Structure 1
Amino acid sequence: MGNTEVVEFYDTHLHYLLHWEKQIPDKDYCVQPTANGEVIHYTWGQVAQQVRSMASYLLSLNLPSKSSIAIYGKNSAHWLMADLAIWMAGHISVPLYPTLNAEGASYVLEHSEAKLLFIGKLDGKADSWNDVKKIIPENFPCICLPLAPEYDAPKWNEIIQNVQPLVNPTLPNKDDLATIVYTSGSTGLPKGVMQTFSTLLAGANEMRNTFGVTSSDRALSYLPLAHVAERIFIQSSSMVCGYTVYFANSLETFIEDLNRAKPTVFFSVPRLWTKFYLGINEKIPPHVQKILFKIPVLGNVIKKKLLAKLGLNHVRYAFTASAPLPIDIILWYRNLGLELLEIYGMTENCGYSHATKVGQFAEGYVGHAQPKVECKIDENGEILVKSPGTMLGYYKNPEKTAEDITADGFLRTGDMGEIDAVGRLKITGRIKDIFKTSKGKYVMPVPTEQKIGNNELVESVCVGGSSLPQPVAFIMLAEDVRNHLKQNGKRDEVEATLKSLRLKINEALESHEKLSFMVVINEPWTMENDLLTPTMKIKRNKIESRYEPSLEKWALLKQEVVWE
């Protein structure tokens, strides 16, 4: 271990910040592209200085000790710095999703009793700024980060030029409340999950222990930092390991940003892994890939080129989490030579629960319990997990906390599962997702959705239909398929594929689970129309209620595939 590596584990992110400031002050910590094409590099020394200065300013405001301070914006170097400054000033950070609607933002600011709001990188295009700016109360204290939209509030850069940085900051304890993370709310109002420095660092410590991640690694930050997964993978892990974080500028520049970062560790969600996969399939059809991959020597060259095209050719470890990724797609990446590992966890345990170990991948399993994690299956089939990442509880909601955490400290995950002979966990569905058809039979939608999701025509799927005798599948076609249909309007081929897919899937299902028909939906599910959560999971209840009024009419058509 070189002298740039941490020899010990520290209690909080601030201890790590001060460590790296001393050890590697001139090494890049954050690399930030801007809309005008400029790329700004911030070293550990510069980040620490800016954090010390902003913390000094926050202290000068004389807010009550441990006040909630909100951060609202897309990922940026200053999002991380704002979070660290909040902590250095002895306060608690409350992140808001950049796509959170006005009602949700208003609820979080009020419920968390936020005393100040950091406004970050927003432009009103792929975010909710245009609506949210209208609900910020008049005279509510705000600070604009660099890259923030025009707003009448003090600017970060001006503030830090006019204050003396804190020289000897008071550092928090590991078990102090660090942040309140509001769940993405796939059902009901968001809940404020209270996490400490210790719980936030649990998964990051494992990045160093299990995967040997060091300060020479690189990562790209583009999934919302307001979500616990990115907070652990990007913020906590870079603090523990000292690696450089590159930011993405926009969706349009994503591949360029990825190629700048050349990440060595990479984390994504199933929707994006699927998009990458479908993008390659559009250029090289799967049947052609199969032939090419089998050619000795040349096959390996082509696989390497494909990874390079995706910007993933330097990746040592790649992770997928937040929802099941179809097995065919996992195997496709692994065949390319990408060690794609599944991670399972929740906001409530800081994502620190289960992970696929290198060389121990098994189809359909999310892997083994992480070190110091206990897992068991309850009598009703629910997965219970006891983890060093488990939350203190839900903010201002002791009843829900008591409901979700057992007396002996196990978190009720709401997922159903089974554990194999060697301790690997398989998720079989969500307890709340199970629905009853009009015949009174119970249907578990997730396994059927996974089978449908394996087809390359399909980007996303939701199985529902509780008002009908048999379930139905709502299908969102892949983007390239949607574009193709728009151009030539010929549905026959797609319809034929979906019909045979339905027959094939129904063969393997119990009689009460068989799909009566498939509905190809018209308007894609997005975060903007509130049918996807910020981590791109489907909002099942919203999707079902959207199509529920048409179900009977569609059933009367007696068609295997219905086009909305």
Structure 2
Amino acid sequence: MSARQTDRRPDAPALAGQDEQERWYDISWREFDRQINVAAKALASLGVKPGACVGTFSANRPENLVTDFACYRNRAISVSIYATSSPEQVAYIVNDASIAVLFAGNSTQYHFAREAQQHCPCMTQIIVIKPIELDEDDNTSMLWSDFMKLGENSGSSIEEEVRRRCDEALPSDIATLVYTSGTTGEPKGAMLTHANYNAALEAHKIALHMLSTDDVSMAFLPLSHIFEKGFTYVCLMLGIKVAVNRDPRAIQDTIKEVRPTCMCAVPRFWEKVYTAVNDKIASMSPLSRAMVNMALKVGRKRNIDYVRRGLKAPFWLEKSYRFFDRKIFSQLRGAIGIDRPNIFPTAGAPVSSEIVEFFHSAGLWLMVGYGLSETTATVTCFHKINYEIGSVGKPLPSVKVKIGENSEVLVKGPTVMRGYYNKPEASAEAFTADGWFRTGDAGYIDSEGALFLTDRIKDLFKTSNGKYIAPQMIETRLGTDKFIEQVAIIGDSRKFVSALIVPNYEALREWADSNKISYSSVEDMLGNQNLLAMMEARLEKLQKGFASYEKIKRFTLLPHEFTMDNGELTNTLKIKRRVISEKYADQIEAMYS
């Protein structure tokens, strides 16, 4: 991939990275390819053999992509580990994949890797990407700069060996192990082959025909997430510059610096943008607010009623839209940091139809999709025309989808994994007798072929009254509110549905202060009856259209957020329902007493 682009456009930027002072710099295709070659020779010099697993435990950095492709040139297997993983989680993956060489991003990950190393006899080498001081008693680690010198100083025999391995590579070789987040049970390494990636890239070349070398992508989600890794590979295949965002917490700043035309994100990102934009609209003068609402009405009619259906908008509507796009929508997009929007793939969790309609009306095209680690990311996505809002789109070319028992979504095609690494029983359970992959998601397909998801099958529960509840649907609706940060819906075998809510503390403080409510602590504020009444009224409004048995009857506001450190969230920020049910058992029982 890098060699091909180097031949075509050697001096064009392939990547943009941030130095230690957070200043952006470009890496040309020529330089990217050179670094991959050097790193590939360094890995061979360290004794990495074809079929061996090499780990990368780091936040997003250009070096993560260098190590990926250096592994591929050695026929080795790249294993990305979330930068937020604990030493125990690192140790589990290192031992499961028998990783000998592990790249660590910074000082924190280095020390976590060293802690894990005490329980991992297979790990013999740690390479730290960021220039830091290594521990004095450490004789198994080196810095990235020394690692690259190792490759630069390797002899012709090493270079010839890497070339031979690359020439002998087969499509059936395992390219990466992508470890599932483990909402239930231990993580499993999905084996994705080069054939899986080749099929995914070819399918995306068709589905993402609107992308070109004029685009700029931002790698915002972790590159250990198959969604980001897959989309980044697509961008590199198409010759699109990829800006590698290191700190997801700084995205509001970096997006304004990079001004990407495409970027994949999870719905929570757009929920926060949506809330911020609506707060801004609410603070406008009545005349300005009326203008924005009129613009959104025009944008909706033009983009959703006409453009979405492949129809030409009437002259008067097109002219009105152009006016509002210039006067209002361009300012809105500019404030976000997106001046030249193309497509913004969105997946990883359910996304509210209200949010999709809002951004599409404003000229920001959220390309909603659905996929899994086991399917090399995308299974379905919005097509440019004739997509159904509320759905997750239609299947990629070459991917087949059908509905099986218990409304389970089943997938078959060349992008589906080989199985789970070292887990033959789990691999067998993951497929039907006739070879369809069981996604674990429930859904249905409409008459136009669009897939609609209802929930994770394991998350669906039944109240004691026999009514089925899809918790993600309720959580997604509530997540659009500016006062709500996280939600866990409760109700399995209970008389009614309840909720544990992590509020947006800053928004609640502003509300309490503006309503002259005094409080001495967060707990004191959350117990205020006026505040609780306000939240109850908002919940009732948010749940408009729900069946009575689906509505939250009682709720508890929590003074602390759900975190990965406390074991309540996976690395992909999905809630672990069993952990939360056990940890907050007293609060839950109080709602049903």
SS at match of 2:278: helix
Question: How far did 1:501 drift?
Answer: 4.2
Partner residue in 2 for 1:70: 55
The answer on whether the counterparts of 1:238 and 1:244 sit within 8 Å (CA) in structure 2 is yes
Find the aligned partners of 1:434 and 1:448 in 2 and give their Cα distance. 12
Higher helix share: 2
Does residue 199 (structure 1) correspond to residue 189 (structure 2)? The answer is no
Partner residue in 2 for 1:552: 589
Does residue 160 (structure 1) correspond to residue 186 (structure 2)? The answer is no
SS at match of 1:208: helix
Partner residue in 2 for 1:13: none
Residues 202-226 of structure 1 show CA distances to partners (whole Å, capped at 9, x for unaligned) of: 3333332222223332111121111
Partner residue in 1 for 2:116: 135
SS at match of 2:117: coil
Question: How far did 1:238 drift?
Answer: 2.6
Structure 1 pair 482/78, CA: closer, same or farther in 2 (3 Å)? farther
> Which of residues 480, 497, 512 is equivalent to 1:471?
497
Question: How far did 1:31 drift?
Answer: 1.0
The answer on whether the counterparts of 1:473 and 1:518 sit within 8 Å (CA) in structure 2 is yes
Structure 1 pair 446/44, CA: closer, same or farther in 2 (3 Å)? same
Find the aligned partners of 1:456 and 1:394 in 2 and give their Cα distance. 40
Residues 525-559 of structure 1 show CA distances to partners (whole Å, capped at 9, x for unaligned) of: 23333322222222222222222222222334xxx
Partner residue in 1 for 2:129: 146
> Which of residues 229, 237, 262 is equivalent to 1:231?
229
Partner residue in 2 for 1:373: 399
AA matched with 2:437 = L
AA matched with 1:272 = F
Partner residue in 1 for 2:301: none
Find the aligned partners of 2:281 and 2:531 in 1 and give their Cα distance. 19
Partner residue in 2 for 1:81: 66
> Which of residues 80, 84, 89 is equivalent to 1:99?
84
What is the aligned-residue identity percentage? 28
Question: How far did 1:258 drift?
Answer: 1.4
Question: How far did 1:335 drift?
Answer: 1.7
Structure 1 pair 160/97, CA: closer, same or farther in 2 (3 Å)? same
Counterparts of residues 258-269 of structure 1 (less than 5 Å): 258-269=255-266
Question: How far did 1:247 drift?
Answer: 1.6
Q: How high is the TM-score relative to the length of structure 1?
A: 0.88
SS at match of 2:501: strand
> Which of residues 11, 20, 29 is equivalent to 1:35?
20
> Which of residues 251, 254, 279 is equivalent to 2:251?
254
Does residue 531 (structure 1) correspond to residue 568 (structure 2)? The answer is yes
Does residue 348 (structure 1) correspond to residue 374 (structure 2)? The answer is yes
Partner residue in 1 for 2:309: none
Partner residue in 2 for 1:185: 182
Does residue 515 (structure 1) correspond to residue 552 (structure 2)? The answer is yes
Find the aligned partners of 2:31 and 2:60 in 1 and give their Cα distance. 18
SS at match of 1:207: helix
The answer on whether the counterparts of 1:378 and 1:384 sit within 8 Å (CA) in structure 2 is yes
Residues 39-69 of structure 1 show CA distances to partners (whole Å, capped at 9, x for unaligned) of: 3321111111111112112212334431111
Question: How far did 1:180 drift?
Answer: 0.9
Find the aligned partners of 1:285 and 1:506 in 2 and give their Cα distance. 21
Structure 1 pair 492/306, CA: closer, same or farther in 2 (3 Å)? farther
Find the aligned partners of 2:272 and 2:71 in 1 and give their Cα distance. 36
The answer on whether the counterparts of 2:60 and 2:247 sit within 8 Å (CA) in structure 1 is no
Find the aligned partners of 1:148 and 1:399 in 2 and give their Cα distance. 43
Find the aligned partners of 1:72 and 1:146 in 2 and give their Cα distance. 10
Residues 243-302 of structure 1 show CA distances to partners (whole Å, capped at 9, x for unaligned) of: 111122434542332133221211100111112222223333288675232266357522
AA matched with 1:97 = Y
Structure 1 pair 542/24, CA: closer, same or farther in 2 (3 Å)? same
> Which of residues 216, 219, 226 is equivalent to 1:218?
216
The answer on whether the counterparts of 1:92 and 1:177 sit within 8 Å (CA) in structure 2 is yes
> Which of residues 388, 407, 412 is equivalent to 2:438?
412
The answer on whether the counterparts of 1:247 and 1:257 sit within 8 Å (CA) in structure 2 is no
Find the aligned partners of 2:131 and 2:191 in 1 and give their Cα distance. 27
Find the aligned partners of 1:504 and 1:154 in 2 and give their Cα distance. 57
Find the aligned partners of 1:520 and 1:83 in 2 and give their Cα distance. 43
Find the aligned partners of 1:532 and 1:313 in 2 and give their Cα distance. 34
Greater shift, 380-389 or 144-153, is seen at 144-153
AA matched with 2:451 = L
Question: How far did 1:517 drift?
Answer: 0.6
AA matched with 1:183 = T
AA matched with 1:451 = R
Structure 1 pair 158/479, CA: closer, same or farther in 2 (3 Å)? same
The answer on whether the counterparts of 2:486 and 2:502 sit within 8 Å (CA) in structure 1 is yes
SS at match of 1:154: strand
Find the aligned partners of 2:179 and 2:380 in 1 and give their Cα distance. 22
The answer on whether the counterparts of 1:78 and 1:145 sit within 8 Å (CA) in structure 2 is no
Question: How far did 1:129 drift?
Answer: 5.7
Greater shift, 339-348 or 454-463, is seen at 454-463
Question: How far did 1:415 drift?
Answer: 0.8
Greater shift, 110-119 or 61-70, is seen at 61-70
The answer on whether the counterparts of 2:204 and 2:396 sit within 8 Å (CA) in structure 1 is no
AA matched with 1:144 = I
Does residue 54 (structure 1) correspond to residue 39 (structure 2)? The answer is yes
Find the aligned partners of 1:98 and 1:535 in 2 and give their Cα distance. 11
Question: How far did 1:366 drift?
Answer: 0.7
Structure 1 pair 483/176, CA: closer, same or farther in 2 (3 Å)? farther
Counterparts of residues 357-368 of structure 1 (less than 5 Å): 357-368=383-394
Question: How far did 1:85 drift?
Answer: 1.0
AA matched with 1:141 = T
Greater shift, 276-285 or 371-380, is seen at 276-285
The answer on whether the counterparts of 2:267 and 2:349 sit within 8 Å (CA) in structure 1 is yes
The answer on whether the counterparts of 1:225 and 1:231 sit within 8 Å (CA) in structure 2 is yes
Q: How high is the TM-score relative to the length of structure 2?
A: 0.84
SS at match of 1:408: coil
Greater shift, 23-32 or 535-544, is seen at 535-544
Question: How far did 1:395 drift?
Answer: 0.7
Find the aligned partners of 1:279 and 1:504 in 2 and give their Cα distance. 19
Structure 1 pair 101/31, CA: closer, same or farther in 2 (3 Å)? same
Find the aligned partners of 1:197 and 1:484 in 2 and give their Cα distance. 52
Partner residue in 2 for 1:291: 290
Greater shift, 523-532 or 362-371, is seen at 523-532
> Which of residues 269, 274, 278 is equivalent to 1:277?
274
Which consecutive unaligned segments of at least 5 residues does structure 1 have? 1-15, 557-564
SS at match of 1:230: helix
Find the aligned partners of 2:237 and 2:130 in 1 and give their Cα distance. 27
Residues 408-450 of structure 1 show CA distances to partners (whole Å, capped at 9, x for unaligned) of: 3211111111111110110011111122334565433223223
> Which of residues 416, 424, 428 is equivalent to 1:390?
416
Structure 1 pair 316/64, CA: closer, same or farther in 2 (3 Å)? closer
Question: How far did 1:473 drift?
Answer: 1.6
AA matched with 1:450 = T
Structure 1 pair 206/310, CA: closer, same or farther in 2 (3 Å)? farther
Partner residue in 2 for 1:330: 356
Find the aligned partners of 2:7 and 2:243 in 1 and give their Cα distance. 21
SS at match of 2:334: helix
